Structure 1
């Protein structure tokens, strides 16, 4: 009897070690897959705060929570099953779908650049005033629709980077990536949105240092929001261009990937200790230029079509 108990405990210990190793594998794979989508995550974080602009401060965090829950539904109930079906039955479609998403990111980023230059901007349409509840619901719905596109790109990038394994293993990794990124993005968004309120609260304190920090936060918020907008646009173009370059290479079109790779290698070797950073910078910049060209062409073509139709 004692020997049987010892054997049982050994089996339990072995199962526990196996489970722990599996969790470590899932965590490592999720971290690697999620890191590939960092550019889209930056864009998601930069885009979301605009959906609470113009609403009452006390509704900001509840609205962000609603958007976060919608984002989780997008990832776990719509995109995760779709990604697993693609992986099981049509893995060949992953790269073309990634490229479509990359082209959309390039288009979105290039359109913002063109609008900043006064080219092809949207015509302002005067909207009828909305009740607060209707306006809130409209903003939440719009944010969740935008999130669906960005989340699809995040999940597709993560899926493409997961090593071939069982469908359950892939599903767990994608779920961890989806939940982790959602918590990270909307946690940061909530902090950004409430930063001015935190600044006002600190500015009312007695301590001079605390008041100075509070006033600095309040004055710095417009600069931060503008910086986030620029970073988000740059991230869209860079990530979208990188996806297109890589996708073309996978499909057998080895330019511009080959030229970018050779240029990055040359800069890396010439830069000594900073080689890793400068090589990445060349790759990112070249991918961004390619993305801007492709996105700009799409945006200008759609603008011409819009003009012809109207």
Structure 2
């Protein structure tokens, strides 16, 4: 699940990046994309790999001669599954919010309407409305894609 979520978020980041440098030269676009790819691979996925390996570290520390290290290891073994579940939920929410936000920008009339209404609210409430609109649109799009994929799978059986 984490790999699928990371893949989708990576695709969304590429779309955002390309949208940001759309008017740049081809060389500049390639340079920016390569830079973002390196940053994401080393930074974010390096961190994700470390989090995935927390339980291995906990198991290794649990086998230590030191009582303190064994307690730290037990704590990691106890905490790692909860952390992974939390990151899974947060990652899925982020995927819907970012994907829905991209769709809002790609649908100018709806995007401008949401931004205009959010502007009347201002500050935190306006930002929250923008995020909720993106998340809502992302959930709707996700439900449609899920329905289509499920339908195609049923037909193939």
Which of 177, 184, 189 is matched with 2:36 structurally? 177
RMSD: 2.6
The structure with higher relative contact order (CA 8 Å, sep 6+) is: 1
Q: Which residue is equivalent to 2:2?
A: 47
1:69-88 deviation per Cα after TM superposition (whole angstroms, max 9, x unaligned):
xxxxxxxxxxxxxxxxxxxx
Q: CA deviation at 1:150?
A: 5.2
Q: Which residue is equivalent to 1:206?
A: 66
> Are residues 158 and 211 of structure 1, via their aligned partners in 2, closer, same or farther at CA, if it must alter by over 3 Å?
same
Which of 77, 80, 85 is matched with 1:226 structurally? 85
Q: CA deviation at 1:190?
A: 2.1
SS at match of 1:216: helix
SS at match of 1:164: coil
Relative to the length of structure 2, the TM-score reads 0.82
Which of 261, 269, 275 is matched with 2:115 structurally? 261
Larger Rg: 1 or 2?
1
Which of 73, 94, 101 is matched with 1:235 structurally? 94
Q: Which residue is equivalent to 1:64?
A: none
> Are residues 153 and 293 of structure 1, via their aligned partners in 2, closer, same or farther at CA, if it must alter by over 3 Å?
closer
Aligned-partner Cα distance in 2 for 1:159–1:297: 26
Number of paired residues? 156
1:224-256 deviation per Cα after TM superposition (whole angstroms, max 9, x unaligned):
11112111211121111111111011xxxx02x
Aligned-partner Cα distance in 2 for 1:167–1:301: 36
Alignment gaps of 5+ in structure 1: 1-45, 49-107, 110-145, 269-274
Matches within 5 A, 1:110-189: 147=7, 151-162=10-21, 164-189=23-48
Matches within 5 A, 1:54-73: none
Alignment gaps of 5+ in structure 2: none
> Are residues 300 and 152 of structure 1, via their aligned partners in 2, closer, same or farther at CA, if it must alter by over 3 Å?
closer
